[in-house]
Amino acid sequence: MSRASLGSGFGIDELPRIVLGSGSYLYDSTGKRYVDGSGGPAVFCLGHGHPEVNAAIARQFNEIAYAYRYLFTSSALERLTETLLRLCNGGFRDIVYSGSGSEAVESALKVALQHFAARGLPNKRRFIARERSWHGDTLGALSISGFAARRRAFEGSLMDVSFVSPANSYRMPEGVTSDTLVSHLAAELEQRILLLGPESVAAFVFEPIVGAAGGVVPAPAGYARAVQAVCRKYDVLLIADEVMCGAGRSGTWRALEFDAMTPDIMAIAKGLAGGYIPLAATLISASVSDPIFSEHGAFMTGHTFTGHTAACAAGLAVQQIIERDRLLERVRIAGGAFQDAIRDSLSRFEQVGDVRGRGMFIGIELVGDRLSKRPMPPARGISFDIGRRAFAGGLVCYPCTGNVDGASGDTLIIAPPYNATDAELEEILVKLTRAIDAALSSTA
């Protein structure tokens, strides 16, 4: 075993050595089996060791692993690009590939700034984001993340970003009702743009379904369209971070399909290549791209491994399997039933305040009691306690903290592979319920 880094976020002190992955299961060097109830950090959309994905990667390796993107194109890159643009129903025209969600978000920020520079509006440099959000570990992505614990060590070196309220119907601002939440949040964004000066604001960045920072928090119906209208009014770009919630995780290929709208720029990653090879992408609309290509000739963002050939082959194989096997339908139907089953199984625990999500992206919020929604003391570390007990019992889930105010608030994320069987989902539920019961019964 090896020591876990503090940044692992799962509260596991000693990491077992992994030796095998097969479908929804992982096996360590002692032979212990784990069911992957969260797809790691919501990555493994097809599980582990899918033979068709492995074969596609092997074929690409046998031809060429990678040729520098800025000297060569490739069939894998071209076919993946064509597939992604089609899956987005024509909402985007250009794609910049990278290796992680953080890089994809970083590219989104750079493209937004380059867009306004190309239009002769160099003062539009500011970003607005939301509290209780997470956009990545690079300095730019971290700057727009409202995740206090992960920012603290880097304060003073981050960009000056303005934050507005979370879009959380379970924890609404004081005096706001479910009927007025969307209008309240849209008005807050508009007031913030006016306070900063529309001439200085480049983009508003948000997660359609907040992942690690909130414990799977879908924005309320109508929110995305409302903030889009505000942004258009003041010539502010709208950037959607679908790194965790997109690529089919919520039951539609784009999470924002649920809202019937398309942002100006979108970042995707985790489910794109399903964890087989690191791959991410930033998708850009024609209205954003046109001034850039007219003035500069190309996007000024990219990396050595942009458009990595074998990674694109992996992503293409993953997306082809998802389409062929109609897995988005599976995510919607089985995911909805699975969420209901989780809610029913955990209803006996007074400390389970909310079960929410969409598709195979489910969040569980733990509280002191349901009526007050009071969070448990941070020192109790209940989410990590449950995560450790689940792991010991052969279940991988994703514990998170700080979703209420940056310090308090405990959640668990469940995000199994899209092709997990009914029996595997039942196993996840049984082991999850057992771990929660054990942790809540303990005074530790």
Q: What are the tens digits of pLDDT across the range 36-78?
A: 999 999 999 999 999 999 999 999 999 999 999 999 999 999 9
Closest of 278, 306, 276, 310 to residue 58, by C-alpha: 310
Shared domain check, 81 and 24: no
Q: Are residues 240 and 346 in the same domain?
A: no
Per-residue model confidence as pLDDT tens digits over 203-237:
999 999 999 999 999 999 999 999 999 999 999 99
Based on the fold, state whether residues 386 and 336 are members of the same structural domain.
Answer: yes
- Taking residues 85-104, what's their average pLDDT? 97
Mean pLDDT, the chain, as a whole number?
A: 95
Residue 241 counted as domain residue:
yes
Q: pLDDT for 275-287, tens place per residue?
A: 999 999 999 999 9
User: Is 245 in contact with 268 (CB distance < 8 Å)?
Assistant: no
Answer yes or no: is 56 within a domain.
Answer: no
Pairwise CA distance, residues 190 & 257, whole Å: 24
pLDDT at 148: 86
For residues 131 and 255, state if they share a domain.
yes
Confidence of residue 10 (pLDDT cuts 50, 70, 90): low
Same domain membership, residue 331 and residue 267: no
Residue 120 counted as domain residue: yes
Asked if residue 83 is part of any domain, the answer here is yes
Same domain, 158 and 268: yes
User: Which residue range forms the structural domain that includes residue 401?
Assistant: 2-50+326-441
Domain-located, residue 55 = no
In a domain, 58, yes or no: no
The closest alpha carbon to 378, from 334, 409, 420, 354, belongs to: 409
Give the length of the chain. 444
Same domain membership, residue 145 and residue 82: yes
Same structural domain, 383 and 297: no
Instruction: Identify whether residues 78 and 206 lie together within a single domain.
Output: yes
Q: Which of 262, 295, 324 is the last residue of a domain?
A: 324
Which pTM does this prediction carry? 0.96
The pLDDT value recorded for residue 1 is 42
Distances (CA, A) of 48 to 51, 151, 273, 338: 9, 32, 12, 21
Strand partners, 411: 365, 400
pLDDT band at 442 (very low <50, low <70, confident <90, very high): confident
- Residue 330: CATH number of its domain: 3.90.1150.10
How far lies 73's CA from each of 58, 221, 357, 430, in Å? 19, 41, 39, 48
Would you state the pLDDT for residue 185?
A: 98
Percent of the chain clearing pLDDT 90 (strictly above): 94
Write the CATH number for 311.
3.40.640.10
> Is residue 375 included in any domain, yes or no?
yes
Domain boundary among 324, 353, 378: 324
Q: Look at residues 282, 297, 324 and tell me which one is the last residue of a structural domain.
A: 324
Q: pLDDT class for 8, splitting at 50, 70, 90?
A: very low
Query: How many domains is the chain partitioned into structurally?
Result: 2
Residue 59 in any domain: the answer is no
Considering the domain architecture, whether residues 433 and 333 belong to the same structural domain is answered as: yes
Same domain for 282 and 380?
no
Residues 216 and 358 in one domain: no
Tell me the pLDDT tens digit for each residue of 293-335: 999 999 999 999 999 999 999 999 999 999 999 999 999 999 9
Query: Looking at the predicted structure, is the pLDDT value of residue 13 above 80?
Result: no
pLDDT > 70 fraction of the chain, expressed in percent and rounded: 97
Give one word for 345, left, alpha or beta, with left for phi > 0 and alpha for psi -120 to 50: alpha
